[in-house]
Amino acid sequence: MIKKLRIKNYKGFDDLKINELSNINLIGGENNIGKTSFLEAIFTFYDRINPQVILKPLSWRGIPISLKNNTPHEIWSPVFKNYNIEKPIEFQFDYKDSVKHNVTISIERDAISAIDPEKISKFDNRNLQQENISEYSLHVKSVIDKEIKQDTFLYFVNNNISMKINILQNKIKPAIFVSPSVRSAAQDALRFSEIYREGLEEEVLEALKIIDNRIKSITPLAISEQESIVHVDIGIGRKIPIYYMGDGIVRLLEYVLAILSTKNGVVLIDEIENGLHTSKQKDIWKLLFTLADKYNVQVFATTHSKEMTEAFVEFAIQNNLEEKSNYIEFFKNYKSEKISANIIDIETLQYKILNSKNFRGD
C-alpha cells in the first residue's frame, strides 16, 4: 500500500506531496483542480512499461491522437507541466513496507545515437533505417531502493511506437482506472470471465443486488465470434445485457470487477457517485471497504458529491474505520497557481460537514 507520494511536473502539478495515504482515499475539490489528473498520475506510474503509457490517459479524455499527423514533441508534451519537456516528470512513492520507488519520465533528444535498429524491441521487428527513427524519445527510468529496475526508451518508427529496453526487471502491481467516460463492454466481459474461472462470480452477483435484487445470475455470453458481453438473469425468461439496465448498475459492476481483478494492487475511480442514487451510496461504501480489505486493494476515488462524502464519513465512523479511510482536499493557491492537497481526517471531516464548513477546495 502506498503510504505517501510526490508528483512533480505532471500536467497541472508543480510539486504535489501527500504524506498520509490510507486504504480508501476519497478526493474532493473544485472543477479543474487536478483530481482526475491525480488518478492519471498514479495510473501512469503503474503503467510505465506499456508503450501506450502516455497515450492511454489522453484517449480516455477523448483527445484524438495521430502518430502520423503529430510530431513526437506534440505527442509527449501534454503530460508535462505547462507542456515544458525540459523538466522531467518525477514520481516518488513510499510504501507501507518501507520500499521507496522513484520513477522519472523525460524527453531525450540525443538518445537516438544509442538506438541500434538491429536491436529494436519486438514491438516493431521490421528492418528499419536510422533516418526513420524519431528524434525525440521518451525515457522512463524506475529505481527501487536505489537499484535501477527499468531503463527504457519509447520512440516513433514509421508512425508506430517502439520500445528500446536497457533494463526491465521489476514486477509491477496492477492498477485499474474506472471512469464514466471510459467504458468497454468487451473488457468488462473479459475481466468477469477471469473472475468466473476463479469461482468469484457470487461476489459480483451479491454486489449487483445492492441496486437490483431481481438479478439471479450473471454470465458473459458471446455476441459474435470475437466478442462477449456480460448478461444477467432478472427473471423474465431470458438473459439480457447488463448495459440495458441503467448506468448505476454498470458503474457498480465496473467497481467490483476492478477490485477483484486487481488483488494486491490499486483501483482508481473517477467521479465515484456518477449514476448512483443517494439511497444506495452508504451500501456502496460498505461494499468497497469490504472488498478492498478482503483482496488487499488500495482505492483512490474522486467525487463532487456532498452526499457521497457524507455517506463515506458516516459509514467509516459507524464501523470504526477511521484509520483505513482518508479524505484528500485539493485546492489551488490563486497567486502562485500551485495545486496542493490537504489531508482531512474523518472526524474533522464530519465536523466540517455538520457545521457547514468548507471541505471541497472552496
Contact by Cβ (8 Å): 30, 44: no
Q: How sure is the predictor about 357, in pLDDT bands with cuts at 50, 70 and 90?
A: confident
Q: How sure is the predictor about 306, in pLDDT bands with cuts at 50, 70 and 90?
A: very high
User: pLDDT value at position 131?
Assistant: 42
Q: How far apart are the C-alpha atoms of 103 and 94, rounded to whole Å?
A: 12
Closest to 187 measured CA to CA, from 215, 220, 211: 220
Is 326's pLDDT higher than 70? yes
Better-predicted residue by pLDDT, 129 or 233: 233
Q: How far apart are the C-alpha atoms of 259 and 211, rounded to whole Å?
A: 18
Q: How far apart are the C-alpha atoms of 218 and 223, rounded to whole Å?
A: 15
Is 9's pLDDT higher than 90? yes
Q: How sure is the predictor about 184, in pLDDT bands with cuts at 50, 70 and 90?
A: confident
pLDDT in tens, 204-263: 999 999 999 999 999 999 888 788 899 999 999 999 999 999 899 999 999 999 999 999
DSSP 6-37: EEEEETTEEEEEE----SEEEEE--TTSSHHH
Worst-scoring range by mean pLDDT, 110-124, 165-179, 325-339? 110-124
pLDDT in tens, 136-164: 889 999 999 989 999 999 988 777 888 88
- The cell for 231 is 448478461
Side-chain half-sphere exposure of 271, counting CA atoms within 13 A: 12
40 phi/psi in degrees, rounded to 5: -65, -35
Q: How far apart are the C-alpha atoms of 188 and 295, rounded to whole Å?
A: 19
Contact by Cβ (8 Å): 35, 339: no
- The cell for 111 is 538518445
> Could you give the residue ranges of the DSSP H alpha helices within 77-167?
none
Better-predicted residue by pLDDT, 217 or 135: 217
Location of C-alpha cell 439511497:
279
Q: What is the mean pLDDT of residues 270-293?
A: 96
Write out the residue limits of the CATH 3.40.50.300 domain(s) in the chain. Answer: 175-354
- What are 127's strand-pairing partners? none
The two counts, helices (H) then strands (E), for the chain are: 9, 16
Superfamily of domain 175-354: P-loop containing nucleotide triphosphate hydrolases (3.40.50.300)
> Could you give the residue ranges of the DSSP H alpha helices within the chain?
35-46, 55-60, 72-76, 185-197, 201-208, 247-260, 281-294, 306-318, 346-354
Q: Are strands 2-10 and 137-144 parallel, antiparallel or unpaired?
A: unpaired
Is 340's pLDDT higher than 90? yes
DSSP 3-state assignment of 232?
A: strand
Distant-in-sequence, close-in-space partners of 226: CB < 8 Å, separation ≥ 6:
none
Closest to 322 measured CA to CA, from 6, 14, 24, 13: 24
- The cell for 209 is 443486488
CB atoms within 10 A of CB 22: 23
pLDDT over 90 percentage in the chain: 69
pTM: 0.91
User: pLDDT value at position 123?
Assistant: 47
